[in-house]
Chain A
Amino acid sequence: MKFWSGNIAFAEGALKAGCRFYAGYPITPSSDLMEHMASKLPEYGGIFIQAEDEIASVNMIIGASIAGLKSMTATSGPGFSLMQEGIGYAVMTEVPIVIVDITRLGPSTGQATKAGQGDLMQARWGRHGDQYLVVLSASSVQDCYLTAIRAFNVSEKFRVPVVVLIDELIGHLWESVEVPEEVEIIDREWTETADTPYFGGKLVPPMPKLGKGLNVLYTGSTHDEWGYRKTQDPDVHRKLVSRIKRKIMDNASEIFKYRILGEIDGDVLFVAYGSPARSCREAVIKLAERGIKAGLILLDTLWPIDYKQLGKLVSNANKIIVPELSLGQLIYDILIVRSDNVYNYHKIGGGVPIYPNELVSYALEVLR
């Protein structure tokens, strides 16, 4: 049993997953994750470098991943904004990287030390062009450890950037963590021969090793399955970008993870992630004490959403409440699958958590 903060637990989970390269730039409230990596990575034979800015951070981890190491960075809102172009490059070139956004209150510098959940849509869609990646979240310190491992596994398996959203309240929360002895670790498929293409053929092609005489071509421009730039050919573009979409969206049911607490077919059902989900859990118990059938769907995956599955989950409850530390972003996912009796409970400013009692009162109000 360990006693860690969310940020430290994520760093430890990343090391367990095999992360051996970290580049980052100081930003509250993620800097302590970076400091932990700065001290630990060299002990594991890994490499740590503090970059000159977040643009450099994301591009350094892309280079490290191309060269062969599982790589990550952590940042927060403004830094995450700066990384978007690099993340888009990693999507297009299918370079596995993990980006943690310890979310704070925006827009802009906002309230830099306070928790927020306003980065959800940016995490999914912050880049230009059609692009698909994976977004995960964590709602406890234990989650942070396990989500780190899962983030690397998903990233390696699908050759895709994985963004992890952890709100500041979880990142700086200290809790006990049980460290499992055995965990499943997935490593990307490598190739040292030119038998199979590196950017096509299979849904998830193998990555070519540098320095083996393969004369590898990486480019963020549209490329054929061997990496040659094809910036005029409509078919090559459609084929590449459609596959990059399919490898994520066709596997949505596998990547989409959630947990259910209480009764999802009752009077009120909460759908949440991160710190608000913890208060939902408490609210479900308190409502049950009052004889109200309540439940929670805690989302561990924020993209891709398996809308068919989500639709089933939220179809029977009388009222749906979506609590968020933003003015409402996750609620749109519920509105895609259900149009009636969907309520947003939002709270922003000062880093004040959504408390269980507020949710109980709000649930009673919407049930009235």
Chain B
Amino acid sequence: MSHPLLRYLRKETLPTAFCPGCGNGILMKALFQAFDELGVKELTNYVFVSGIGCAAWIPSPFIKADTVHTLHGRPIPVATGIKLTRPELEVIVIGGDGDIAGIGGNHLVHAARRNMDLLVIMVNNMIYGMTGGQVAPTTPRGMKTTTTPYGNPEYTMDACALVASLGANYSARWTVGHFLQLKDSFKVTLKKRGFRFIEVVTQCVSRVSRRLGMTAAQHIKYFLKNSVHISKLKDRGNIDLDGKIVVGVYADRDRPGYLDIMREATKNLM
């Protein structure tokens, strides 16, 4: 008997290219379990769009669905073009923090502002992993990377707060240690319209955990120990991500998505 979630994978592409101990597998399991629990047995109506980086390889080629592997930073505009053309398809973007918040940051801002009908999953390993471990917009301040050998002098980007501030319908952050909460967020967002953003904090075993002297399991325990639920924060307007990881749902609304607004605006033309 094969594993029930194998149906979502292209078996001929396995094993994945990810390092042993990579968090991408936990994320995939949470997503697939969400599909399974929602009764989605085939991904025929789903299109996965990704850019460049380790996280971009999650759908391309491993997920058994239509997948579009685009340029570095550009999955959101490509996904926008697909969604507007084929609104009946569910379009999901999976990308890393460098892809989505770094080089593709402008697209993230404007897709969130438009409340574009996309689910964007940002896999945040706090580093440019594929290229060897350079500093990212999500790297904690003070952390040593190959391009910040004296410690990262820059403040850390809170992509969830950014997306929430732009009026998107959903914004949440979990670590891969928060498996059930992550799975529930996937289930909620797979049923919602508008722009939905889930940031998944994960360990890069090769570029971060190893340098910090941790195994993957120790790193996940570290995430859990250093996570603070958003409801426990006194001042939500001044979140300092240095030193702790804020988890939870930043925004959950049901404003009309871009498609609904456009349909309404042009309904008398058709």
Contact = CB atoms under 8 A, between A and B. Distances in A.
Given A52-B109, A210-B86, A214-B66, A21 B44 contact: no
Interface string B83-101: 1111011000000000000
B230 interface: no
B254 interface: no
Contacts of B253: none
Contacts of B110: 51-52, 56
A168 to B, nearest CB: 27
A166 interface: no
B269 A216 contact: no
A352 to B, nearest CB: 37
A211 B10 CA distance: 16
A203 B9 CA distance: 31
Interface string A218-248: 1111000000110000000000000000000
B80 A60 contact: yes
Contact of B82 (A49, A66, A221, A228): A66
Nearest to B75: A59
A68 B85 CA distance: 7
A49 B79 CA distance: 13
A215 B63 CA distance: 9
Given A56-B110, A211-B45, A211-B47, A220 B81 contact: no
B77 A63 contact: yes
Contacts of B88: 211
A105 interface: no
A127 to B, nearest CB: 11
A47 to B, nearest CB: 5
Nearest to B43: A215
Contacts of A229: 60-61, 69
Interface string A40-72: 001101010101110111011111111111010
B263 to A, nearest CB: 11
B37 interface: no
Interface in B197-242: none
A85 interface: yes
Nearest to A97: B81
A219 B69 contact: yes
Contact of A63 (B82, B262, B266, B269): B82
B15 to A, nearest CB: 15
A49 B269 CA distance: 17
Interface in B121-141: none
A86 to B, nearest CB: 7
A213 interface: yes
Given A51-B77, A56-B107, A64 B82 contact: yes
A43 B167 CA distance: 29
A189 B270 CA distance: 28
A67 B71 contact: no
A288 interface: no
A212 interface: yes
Contacts of B68: 63, 66, 216, 218-219
A53 B105 CA distance: 12
B70 interface: yes
A60 B47 contact: no
B260 interface: no
A213 to B, nearest CB: 5
A144 to B, nearest CB: 25
Nearest to A208: B66
Nearest to A226: B61
Q: Which 4 A-B pairs have the closest CB atoms?
A: A63-B81, A67-B85, A59-B77, A64-B81
10 contacts: A51-B110, A56-B80, A57-B77, A59-B78, A63-B68, A67-B86, A71-B81, A210-B47, A210-B66, A221-B69
Given A63-B85, A211-B45, A228-B61, 17 more contacts: A21-B81, A23-B77, A42-B266, A49-B84, A56-B106, A61-B81, A63-B77, A63-B78, A63-B80, A66-B68, A67-B47, A67-B86, A71-B81, A210-B47, A217-B67, A217-B69, A220-B71
